[in-house]
């Protein structure tokens, strides 16, 4: 009952705040809104089909948005403001709060410590941000926290149910973010070694078999998720890993943006700074937690270290190699890591629940006498780190996606040098909504407007009539784009052929369309964008066929 109340309370708070942030203040994240548009295309486009969900992003978040987007004809904010994504992220982050709480309960940590650590996790500014914005970080954080919790239990209980659940959690995590493939592999290696070492008294062959079998149980759901998504993407698009190989994937975006922002030592410096912003107490708490675990012979401390630590290490390495972006959200795993370490400083009490303890179940070791004092000090550090995280998120050089939120708490007389940029960030997609309203007011028939959703998703998702658009997920998109007049197209939406616009299908088919209509259309409307880093739009009227 307690966990249900905790989940319901956290979910309600996140849902209310997320609605206000999206609908009242208009703060929308492009990745989240584009997922909602893809789901809208599955249900309400000219050519509705499940493959329209897209293969650049992993599918979990979008699939869960399907029943919500289905209600958008009656509640337009679900798509227009991306509220469908907000609902999904709020529920998953509330689930992550429950998992952090459950780790403390399973360990038998003092109630005050479990409650305090759970509260600090729930109100951490970064956790709040990604609970409210519909991004895939919330499902990913939930899945890795769930996997960590059940692996910690398995270390002591050797219960096959815990191992199966941990594998399912991490496999589900891969369907939320590609990053999960690293903790899946690391966790499998840990499980194999743990089972081998715990099976003393048996023959070497039996110990090897036990380790391999347990590792296969853990890794099985993850392998199934990876292969299913890879094969499905390859069969439908010809690309198994569209995130890395397609014109809309990470590598293409980095190239369109002029190359990696940083590489080498500078990139490692950003990764370290980002981790310190999100988890300022981690450098102080982690060594103590690991040292106490070593003295206690407490293998439990290795679980968060390997699972959550591998996520952070992978992100730092990817940015070091110039394969990703300088975004704080990639280091969000540091927050549950420091919270779990704090709970593990408390003396372990009793045994975690188990349906069927295995033959390798082990009692917990004796607690060190000063462990409670260390846990109390770590909890105080966690509380004190919250304002430091809030300050870091308000720093434009570190937090390019979050710093604009500070303008919600300042008055009109604010003279900060970044205030204009912050307000433009909050105005992102306002111009796209205005264009959608302009087109809707003309009551156009189906297939009247051609746009590439790489830039135009904000217009399509805000429209009351998504069938009026011809978009890349439509089977006849290339045919219509090649001869728009013959197919009854009235308008073409164009963006500059720079940055992300270089990948825009309209620009690739008509390289000069933004400047002069590409000899197929004449300028009808120009809309300079109110949003920061958003493209200026030109609406071209298609020249009708002669005769």
> 25-35: per-residue pLDDT in tens?
989 998 999 99
Q: Which residues pair with 522 in a beta bridge?
A: 541
- Phi-psi category of 488—alpha, beta or left, where left has phi over 0 and alpha has psi -120 to 50? left
Q: In the structure encoding, which two tokens stand for residue 123, read together?
A: 């109100």
**How confident is the model over 346-361, as a mean pLDDT?**
70
Please list, in sequence order, all residues whose beta carbon lies within 8 angstroms of the beta carbon of residue 368, skipping any fewer than 6 positions away: 292, 295, 296, 347
Dist CA 124 CA 65 (whole Å):
25
Please list, in sequence order, all residues whose beta carbon lies within 8 angstroms of the beta carbon of residue 478, skipping any fewer than 6 positions away: none
Dist CA 468 CA 518 (whole Å):
22
Please list, in sequence order, all residues whose beta carbon lies within 8 angstroms of the beta carbon of residue 458, skipping any fewer than 6 positions away: 28, 30, 33, 37, 429, 432, 433, 534
Dist CA 345 CA 339 (whole Å):
10
> Is 240's pLDDT higher than 80?
no
Contact between residue 51 and residue 37 where contact means Cβ atoms under 8 Å apart? no
Dist CA 225 CA 241 (whole Å):
13
Share of the chain above pLDDT 70, in %: 90
pLDDT digits (tens, 9 = 90+) for 451-499: 998 889 999 999 999 999 999 999 999 999 999 999 999 999 999 988 8
Dist CA 335 CA 507 (whole Å):
42
Q: For the chain, how big is the Rg over CA atoms in Å? A: 25
Strands 491-494 and 537-542: antiparallel
Q: Which residues pair with 469 in a beta bridge?
A: 449
> Is 115's pLDDT higher than 80?
yes
Average pLDDT of every residue of the chain = 89
Task: Reduce the DSSP state of residue 323 to 3 states and report it.
Answer: coil
pLDDT at site 250: 63
> Higher pLDDT residue, 2 or 258?
2
- Cα 373 to Cα 292, 341, 369, 380, distances in angstroms: 12, 14, 9, 11
Q: Which of 229, 255, 253 is nearest to 54 (CA)?
A: 229
Please list, in sequence order, all residues whose beta carbon lies within 8 angstroms of the beta carbon of residue 479, skipping any fewer than 6 positions away: 487
Burial 340-360 (b: 16+ CB within 10 A, else e): bbbbbbbbbeebbebeebbeb
Q: Which of 67-81, 184-198, 403-417, 452-466 has the lowest mean pLDDT?
A: 403-417
Q: In the structure encoding, which two tokens stand for residue 344, read together?
A: 């593990």
Contact between residue 156 and residue 362 where contact means Cβ atoms under 8 Å apart? yes
pLDDT at site 453: 87
**Which one-letter DSSP state was computed for residue 492?**
E
pLDDT at site 275: 93
pLDDT at site 257: 57
Dist CA 13 CA 204 (whole Å):
53
Dist CA 59 CA 229 (whole Å):
8
Burial 367-380 (b: 16+ CB within 10 A, else e): bbeebbebbbbbbe
Contact between residue 7 and residue 95 where contact means Cβ atoms under 8 Å apart? yes
Q: Which residues pair with 493 in a beta bridge?
A: 539
**How confident is the model over 358-373, as a mean pLDDT?**
63
pTM: 0.94
Dist CA 52 CA 44 (whole Å):
11
pLDDT at site 533: 82
Dihedral sign computed on CA atoms, order 368, 163, 351, 196: negative
**How confident is the model over 230-239, as a mean pLDDT?**
86
């Amino acid at each position: 009952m307690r966990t249900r109340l905790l989940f319901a309370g956290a979910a309600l708070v996140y849902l209310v705040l997320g609605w206000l942030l999206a609908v009242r203040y208009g703060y929308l994240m492009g990745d989240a809104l584009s997922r909602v548009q893809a789901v809208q295309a599955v249900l309400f486009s000219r050519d509705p089909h499940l493959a329209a969900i897209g293969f650049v992003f992993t599918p979990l978040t979008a699939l869960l948005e399907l029943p919500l987007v289905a209600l958008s004809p009656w509640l337009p904010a679900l798509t227009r403001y991306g509220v469908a994504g907000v609902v999904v992220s709020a529920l998953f982050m509330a689930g992550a709060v429950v998992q952090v709480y459950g780790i403390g309960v399973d360990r038998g940590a003092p109630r005050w410590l479990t409650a305090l650590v759970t509260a600090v996790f729930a109100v951490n500014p970064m956790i709040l941000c990604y609970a409210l914005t519909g991004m895939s970080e919330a499902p990913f954080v939930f899945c890795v926290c769930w996997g960590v919790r059940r692996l910690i239990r398995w270390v002591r209980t050797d219960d096959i149910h815990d191992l199966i659940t941990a594998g399912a959690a991490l496999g589900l995590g891969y369907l939320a973010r590609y990053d999960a493939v690293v903790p899946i592999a690391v966790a499998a290696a840990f499980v194999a070694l743990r089972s081998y070492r715990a099976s003393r008294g048996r023959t070497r062959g039996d110990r090897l078999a036990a380790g391999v079998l347990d590792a296969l149980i853990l890794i099985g759901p993850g392998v199934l998720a990876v292969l299913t998504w890879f094969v499905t993407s390859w069969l439908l698009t010809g690309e198994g890993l569209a995130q890395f190989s397609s014109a809309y994937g990470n590598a293409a975006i980095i190239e369109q943006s002029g190359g990696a922002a940083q590489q080498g030592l500078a990139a490692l410096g950003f990764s370290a700074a980002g981790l310190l912003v999100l988890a300022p107490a981690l450098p102080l708490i982690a060594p103590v937690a690991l040292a106490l675990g070593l003295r206690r012979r407490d293998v439990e401390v290795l679980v968060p270290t390997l699972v959550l630590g591998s996520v952070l290490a992978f992100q730092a390495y990817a940015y070091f190699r110039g394969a990703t972006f300088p975004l704080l959200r990639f280091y969000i795993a540091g927050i549950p890591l420091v919270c779990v370490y704090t709970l593990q400083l408390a003396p372990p009490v009793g045994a975690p629940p188990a349906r069927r303890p295995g033959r390798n179940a082990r009692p917990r070791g004796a607690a060190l006498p000063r462990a409670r004092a260390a846990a109390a000090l770590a909890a105080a550090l966690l509380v004190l780190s919250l304002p430091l995280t809030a300050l870091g998120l308000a720093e434009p050089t570190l937090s390019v996606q979050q710093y604009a939120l500070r303008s919600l708490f300042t008055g009109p007389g604010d003279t900060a040098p970044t205030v204009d940029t912050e307000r433009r960030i909050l105005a992102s997609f306002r111009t796209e909504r205005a264009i959608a309203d302009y087109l809707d007011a003309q009551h156009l028939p189906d297939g009247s407007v051609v746009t590439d959703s790489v830039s135009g998703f904000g217009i399509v998702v805000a429209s009351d009539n998504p069938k009026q658009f011809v978009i890349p997920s439509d089977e006849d998109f290339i045919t219509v784009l090649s001869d728009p007049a013959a197919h009854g197209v009235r308008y073409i939406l164009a963006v500059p052929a720079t940055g992300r616009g270089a990948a825009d299908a309209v620009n690739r088919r008509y390289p000069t369309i933004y400047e002069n209509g590409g000899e197929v259309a004449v300028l009808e409307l120009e809309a300079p964008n109110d949003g920061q880093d958003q493209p200026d739009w030109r609406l071209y009227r298609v020249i009708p066929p002669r005769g």
